Structure 1
């Protein structure tokens, strides 16, 4: 352990080391790195921090955490056998903090409260890369993925190099909404080391803004605890993850932990969501609240100093338009997005960009170019043809939400085409049939991933939930079902094709066959079959 006099003596050296790390590759001595945490260690060079002992290399520092499921300290022998020069192991008491010992050729360093401090350690190792990036953290039960993607898209449309991190992976976003460079992520929110490593890569790639999904698990596990964050966004809060959090109260409080992010400047809160009142009650004095939402009877927060509200919303099969009334001015917004929920997602993205200094006029000029997440309420056709919407909805609730959303846009009939997966939850099949019959005008049952089951038997299960099964079309060839529905529709009609979304395959029997629904629908309209 270092006493206070020793710490003061090392301050100048520490600042120099921080600056050096911020502008260098990750190979570095552990000595100045650990000084930041009150630990005196030898001058050993490491090139990476590693959580998985299987990834250890000779210049790695293995981080042995007392995990929620497994104890990383149990894997110290494996890390030693793989040649880890340094092992930083979580210890139980403050008195053990900084204690060092040698085991074979590995230096083992005890680190108190390492799970909570890992984000700070990773930030220091990578030279605090988020300092040079605008960071927008988005949390909530639903809408995180879409809000993050729309936020990064909007930044790209405004000529800002932007990236996103979340369920769809991580990477730089181009102006079309596509991910120009894509990496898979194991979790919605990466672990603390991966998070700062990504930020370092983005900083090196001249990225100026990153939007990321922040899950309740990540907040409880402090994966982003030391991530400098400019804007915190709340989408909504409904029942979820109670197997992990135990109670709704604990789940809600976990989400509010986002307000504790270092250097947080703005909290962008859903004014139509009652949970936002609790966020306001816990808001740090240095954080400016901004309320977004739709100005109708469901708006709960009406007296906010800073706001970004949609008024006079008009829906069509092409999207929607509304008047944006905000603290930055007023303008008309046109969106090519479907669903009331996507208005909220877009408003959160717009409010975040306004907080970070973007021009309202520039935002208004580019908003119509925003596109949905691939395979989520994705629109094809329109104009003089029926509108086909491809969506991933494959549960009764998701199907209901999609149909309710599209009803607002439909100027004609609303049809739905869907199936249910084989060798999966059979109980939901009748419920899917019930939902489709209740909320759509026309319904076609088709094949999904039938796997080892007979598609006809699956269709029969779905029909059992219908009051009038005789009115339901059953066309098991999925392409034929879509084409038939389009040929029978008018330009004012909307056809929801549910269940596949972004997937590019179908599982029939024990075969996985190529099938990209989005591509097929696009090609169908290019053939002008209507």
Structure 2
């Protein structure tokens, strides 16, 4: 928790936004009226789903000394009124100024550390974690913010040491609060996931960003963005981050060319990829490439060619896409001055990210891989990765999220039918949709003559497959990854797939 160092008056804070307010001291800014206390300022924002101004009476009843309320009337900006013992300040277009307001309140915490933002459809979580691993191994105190949670990176790594985050990228106020907390813990590097939603909604507008990493662009979130063009443009907003010095781009993704065209002259480019020709880039554009990939049961080895040096690398991670993730992380830290020899040492010691192609084994049984893949592209990459390690059959157990992009469901069915020998359709986060309806959409894409079983209860589906598969098979459990819940009928039900798999395999050994 952020300590009381941030107790301050709203008078100098709001003066930065052209508002003359009374001298009222608060300890924290909050967006949720349920978090209001006599020490907080409530920001009543007109949001995407709820209008915070409707909760002003509740905030007053909870003793909020200050309420900063959004107004659409520019002339009303700065008007102050009293209601009971609460000062209400009108703030024009507050929703677009949240990041700036919170950054000012918490004394611009991102400026006190090196910050790396990672965006793309797939790989964000893995790259953030690998970045933290690489630098932590060199004695650098690292923070991470994203799907896995927020907090300090520690060894041995445990999800229990992180604070849970509701969204991939926290809201604009919470983001600055987390950064301030990390700054007070003397963190020197923070890596965070920058979702397309967050970029469009301005949650990162005033987060000083040293390095931007683009992983890839495939179909996702079209229920929100509408078109792939809008989705791609949302990702590219990361190039507008304050003080951006380096952009690390995936040479294999065509969208990277659009990034390169839109980069400011003050931002340099570092390309990364597999089997690419370094001579294609000018002397000003640096690179970090892998060639001559070899896969084994314990990982992947390759020859690393980069602007900083060349060497052989043995990576203890499964899948070609993890080579891309590792290269992105390596390119980013080298762009900031980390020695090539230190990066090599770190690459050779990298470990899998929890719930990202995480392998579970037991004697005389099939191997189980738990992965977060929940898009057609991610599922394809996960299944292609296990193909290089399987001796017999591939089993694919998955579902799709309810009340989300329905167009990707048959696409995921088609991918599974093409690359797996057996498919088991089950529940993911169904939300307020039925499993049967979701799985019917998936089945429309399954055209091949492939074995398909439907078991709606996810635990029952996993037990069924583990008992039926044999040694030499690989079971891919896709969609849940690190998550410790299922969202069903509006309720979050405790469910840790990684722990459940370990339990089932242990029972088989008994």
Question: TM-score with structure 2 length normalisation?
Answer: 0.83
State yes or no: 1:413 paired with 2:397: no
CA shift in 2, pair 1:391/1:242, >3 Å: closer
Structure-1 separation of matches of 2:295 and 2:151: 32
CA shift in 2, pair 1:480/1:411, >3 Å: closer
Q: Which secondary structure does the structure 2 equivalent of 1:25 belong to?
A: helix
- Give 2:38's aligned residue: 58
Q: Which secondary structure does the structure 2 equivalent of 1:33 belong to?
A: helix
Q: Which secondary structure does the structure 1 equivalent of 2:162 belong to?
A: coil
Q: Choose which of 302, 315, 335 in structure 2 pairs with 1:322.
A: 302
Structure-2 separation of matches of 1:337 and 1:241: 28
Structure-1 separation of matches of 2:428 and 2:96: 43
Q: Choose which of 258, 261, 267 in structure 1 pairs with 2:238.
A: 258
- Could you tell me whether the CA contact under 8 Å between 2:290 and 2:302 is conserved in 1? yes
Q: Choose which of 415, 422, 428 in structure 2 pairs with 1:443.
A: 422
- Could you tell me whether the CA contact under 8 Å between 2:150 and 2:164 is conserved in 1? yes
- Could you tell me whether the CA contact under 8 Å between 2:292 and 2:303 is conserved in 1? yes
- Give 1:338's aligned residue: 318
Q: How does 1:24-39 map to 2 (within 5 A)?
A: 25-39=5-19
Number of aligned positions between the proteins: 496
1:315-355 CA distance string (max 9 Å, x none): 22221111121111112222111122111111111111112
Structure 1 residue 211, shift from structure 2 partner: 0.8
- Give 2:210's aligned residue: 230
Q: Which secondary structure does the structure 2 equivalent of 1:279 belong to?
A: helix
- Could you tell me whether the CA contact under 8 Å between 1:394 and 1:498 is conserved in 2? yes
CA shift in 2, pair 1:462/1:192, >3 Å: closer
CA shift in 2, pair 1:410/1:37, >3 Å: same
After TM superposition, the structure 1 stretch with the greater mean CA deviation from structure 2, 94-103 or 146-155, is: 94-103
User: Unaligned 5+ residue runs, structure 1?
Assistant: 1-21
CA shift in 2, pair 1:89/1:347, >3 Å: same
- Could you tell me whether the CA contact under 8 Å between 2:219 and 2:375 is conserved in 1? no
- Give 1:368's aligned residue: 348
Structure-1 separation of matches of 2:251 and 2:410: 36
State yes or no: 1:113 paired with 2:93: yes
Structure 1 residue 314, shift from structure 2 partner: 1.4
Structure-1 separation of matches of 2:435 and 2:54: 47
Structure-2 separation of matches of 1:164 and 1:362: 21
Q: Choose which of 472, 482, 495 in structure 1 pairs with 2:466.
A: 482
Structure-2 separation of matches of 1:368 and 1:351: 15
Structure 1 residue 430, shift from structure 2 partner: 9.5
CA shift in 2, pair 1:420/1:285, >3 Å: closer
Q: Which secondary structure does the structure 1 equivalent of 2:219 belong to?
A: coil
- Give 2:152's aligned residue: 172
- Could you tell me whether the CA contact under 8 Å between 2:425 and 2:452 is conserved in 1? no
- Give 1:377's aligned residue: 357
- Give 2:247's aligned residue: 267
1:482-511 CA distance string (max 9 Å, x none): 366344x2xxx6553556644668999xxx
| Bigger Rg, which one | 1
Structure-2 separation of matches of 1:447 and 1:110: 49
After TM superposition, the structure 1 stretch with the greater mean CA deviation from structure 2, 199-208 or 172-181, is: 172-181
Structure-1 separation of matches of 2:246 and 2:178: 23
Aligned CA RMSD, in angstroms, stands at 4.2
1:194-216 CA distance string (max 9 Å, x none): 11110111112222211111111
CA shift in 2, pair 1:483/1:301, >3 Å: farther
CA shift in 2, pair 1:496/1:422, >3 Å: closer
- Could you tell me whether the CA contact under 8 Å between 2:398 and 2:425 is conserved in 1? yes
Q: Which secondary structure does the structure 1 equivalent of 2:5 belong to?
A: coil
- Could you tell me whether the CA contact under 8 Å between 1:173 and 1:179 is conserved in 2? no
Structure-2 separation of matches of 1:362 and 1:161: 16
- Give 2:263's aligned residue: 283
State yes or no: 1:68 paired with 2:48: yes
State yes or no: 1:190 paired with 2:170: yes
Structure-2 separation of matches of 1:53 and 1:422: 29
Q: Choose which of 344, 347, 353 in structure 1 pairs with 2:327.
A: 347
- Give 1:154's aligned residue: 134
Structure 1 residue 27, shift from structure 2 partner: 1.3
- Give 1:17's aligned residue: none
- Could you tell me whether the CA contact under 8 Å between 2:122 and 2:378 is conserved in 1? no
Structure-1 separation of matches of 2:95 and 2:11: 20
Q: Which secondary structure does the structure 2 equivalent of 1:43 belong to?
A: coil
Structure-2 separation of matches of 1:339 and 1:113: 46
Structure-2 separation of matches of 1:450 and 1:90: 34
- Give 1:8's aligned residue: none
Q: Which secondary structure does the structure 2 equivalent of 1:38 belong to?
A: coil
